[in-house]
Chains A and B, each alone.
Chain A
Amino acid sequence: MLEIENLTVEAGGREILHDLSLNVMSGYTTVLFGPNGSGKSTLLMTIMGFSGFKVKSGRIILNGEDITDLPVNERAKRGIGMMMQRPPNLIGVRLKDLVQVTGKGKVDPVALAEDLNMSAFLDRDVNVGFSGGEIKRSEILQLEAQGPCLLLLDEPESGVDLVSIEKLGVKVHELLQGPSHCAGWRQRSGKAALIITHTGQILDYVEADRGYVMCNGTVACSGNPRELLGEIRKMGYNECIRCKMNRSNLIREIA
């Protein structure tokens, strides 16, 4: 579904991603691990197409189409939807109106909000004075209205209390997999996700298929997400960096 080929990205005059490549297959949930500042959010923002993130080289391919130079809304139209970590305040724009237009008038903001305990927020300005957890729920609400087939979730569990995490996790699960747990359904529905997580808590609610570890703006390792999380918990990211360097030295020696 999504192929990132040798992507080098600059933000704020600094190169953040270096020659990064990864794949998200249709129907698969992919998790991104990595220390703070490793470029995870930059990768998601670049895939969505935000203008502060300049692609210096490389390509982003969605379902066979090169979308590297497409504007944000064209990417959204092609099925990409993002939960931002720190979305901007929209003063004067009511959440209800944003959900309404996002759903192209085909969704009922009131019913969706009720389900997320967000009814009281519908008449409030988007993100203005929202707590961390409220921002997440507002983002999920918007994504439900949008119905994307590739979800980019930037730390969905951060800033959310333990009780709300469950509610949020179930919602993310529903967004991705519908009411059923069956992997076959997921593959047929073609929905995929790229999720940034530090704690791995979201893995209790969504069936993640593949994990990537990012360090210093590139992919250091990939594999089974639960195994990767276990290793990171045990040995930290330094081990990933050391391991990657060993591997590249090994490759150089063989060459």
Chain B
Amino acid sequence: MTSDQERRAKEALRKEASFGEDIDLEEYEEGSRELSTLESLEDLPQDTQRTMLDAGIEPSDKGKAGNFLLMDNTVVHSAIMGSGVELMPLSRALKVHDWLKDYIWKAVQPDTDKYTAESYLQKADGYFIRALPGAKVSMPVQTCLLLKNRNSKQYVHNVLVAEEGSEFEVVTGCATSREVEKGLHLGISEFYLKKGSKLSFTMIHNWSEFIGVRPRSAIVMEEGATYINNYVALKPVKNIQTYPTAHMNGRNGVCRFNSVAVAHPGSTMDMGSRAVLNAEGCKAELISRTITTGGTVIARGHLVGNSKNIKAHLECKGLILSDQGVQIAIPELEAHVPDVEMTHEAAVGKIAQDQVEYIMSRGMTEEEAVGMIVRGFLDVGIRGIPEHLRAEIDKALKETDVRGM
């Protein structure tokens, strides 16, 4: 049966996205769906484990509620250790849960652009995570999306469901094996947060210079739900364009997007976040901290106020550390009713010399002083990050070359 969705997806196969450089999908081969499966993440080769660690994923079962690994287009590992939560490939979840068909492709439309259309038509697999009603899952679920073979395109479709009153945390690390020179990652993520649930979702990107990345995420929130999104991208990437949207449909919902990114020479990062506040008492905060050491950053943010007594704040701050770097901040506030409190703060520029010299007056070199200020600048963007990830992120920040000049 050719559904209406399928017809629309077929029509959208050539539809360019609203933002970001257009990518020719035919330049890439389809990523393998037939890689061999793994008993444990600990069985992975050392260098793959290291790549995953750099994306915040510990290749171990310890302290985790579940582990999931997608390599190219094959789910090679999916294991659940904790209780109160389900984790399985989406393809399997569709067989287990008949009701799931009412959820998939509802938050993200297949005909949004050519990337969603292709992912839909290719029946992309990915992870399905569901926190059971009232479950407070104490340990995080880790998922890793790894591009393994060169010139591959990876399609991913993830669905996360937080049942009523549940609380859980997910860490997704996206990474490329060292030998992959060219690749494409298309990732659909749909989040459904039911009444009073809470999800903290952290995504860490560890791609490489020749990888194109097009995540498409949407979050649907019911009354009293809390969604916290942390996004960290410190490594080089060819180009990335992402604009996750939270639809806050129930009263008193809370959402927060924290993003930190570094655009290295040759990288183009077009990254935004959007919150649509559709119900009374909702609160949203979108914070981004971006740095260019020679690449281009477009930091978008969009708040839509559709109901009274909502409160929303948007902050994009960008540092330019190189003559070649470009920072574009595009904050948008859109109110459709009078009784709203919506604010934004945007600033781009170089590091203030008085701050550098103040630290230098305590004996640090200029490079050390700049490093401290830059780390501090990014730190503000990741203060909401879970404690267990801090050490890895701090290490990555220290290793990030911010000299630029």
A119 within 8 A of B: no
Taking CB atoms, residues of chain A closer than 8 Å to B372 are 90, 93, 97-98, 101
Report whether A73 and B364 are in contact in the complex, using a CB–CB cutoff of 8 Å.
yes
What does DSSP make chain B's interface, helix, strand, loop or mixed? helix
- How many residues on chain B are close to A (CB under 8 Å)? 24
From A76, A77, A81, A104, name the one whose CB has the most chain B CB atoms within 10 angstroms. A76
A82 within 8 A of B: yes
Report whether A76 and B376 are in contact in the complex, using a CB–CB cutoff of 8 Å.
no
CB distance from B258 to the nearest CB of A (A): 13
From A73, A94, A101, name the one whose CB has the most chain B CB atoms within 10 angstroms. A73
A37 within 8 A of B: no
CB distance from A44 to the nearest CB of B (A): 11
**With A and B bound together, what is the CA distance between A72 and B368 in angstroms?**
13
CB distance from B21 to the nearest CB of A (A): 32
Give residues of chain A (175-226) contacting chain B, Cβ–Cβ below 8 Å.
none
A68 within 8 A of B: no
Taking CB atoms, residues of chain A closer than 8 Å to B363 are 73, 76-77, 102, 104, 146
Report whether A91 and B361 are in contact in the complex, using a CB–CB cutoff of 8 Å.
no
Report whether B360 and A76 are in contact in the complex, using a CB–CB cutoff of 8 Å.
yes
**With A and B bound together, what is the CA distance between A152 and B352 in angstroms?**
23
Chain A positions 133 through 169: 1 when the CB is less than 8 Å from some CB of chain B, otherwise 0: 0000000001001100000000000000000000000
CB distance from B379 to the nearest CB of A (A): 4
Closest to B382 in A: A92
Closest to A125 in B: B376
B377 within 8 A of A: yes
Taking CB atoms, residues of chain B closer than 8 Å to A97 are 372
- How many residues on chain A are close to B (CB under 8 Å)? 31
Report whether A98 and B359 are in contact in the complex, using a CB–CB cutoff of 8 Å.
yes
B46 within 8 A of A: no
CB distance from B377 to the nearest CB of A (A): 5
Chain B positions 349 through 363: 1 when the CB is less than 8 Å from some CB of chain A, otherwise 0: 000111101111111
Q: Which residues on B are within 8 Å of A, measured CB to CB?
A: 352-355, 357-366, 368-369, 372-373, 375-380
Return the 9 tightest CB-CB contacts between A and B, nearest first.
Answer: A92-B376, A93-B376, A73-B360, A72-B360, A102-B362, A76-B363, A92-B379, A92-B380, A88-B354
Further 19 A-B residue pairs, CB within 8 A, beyond A84-B358, A98-B362, A125-B376: A49-B361, A50-B357, A51-B357, A73-B361, A73-B366, A76-B361, A76-B363, A87-B358, A88-B354, A91-B377, A92-B378, A93-B359, A93-B376, A101-B362, A101-B368, A102-B362, A142-B362, A146-B362, A146-B363
Q: Which residues on A are within 8 Å of B, measured CB to CB?
A: 48-52, 71-73, 75-77, 81-82, 84, 87-94, 97-98, 101-102, 104, 125, 142, 145-146
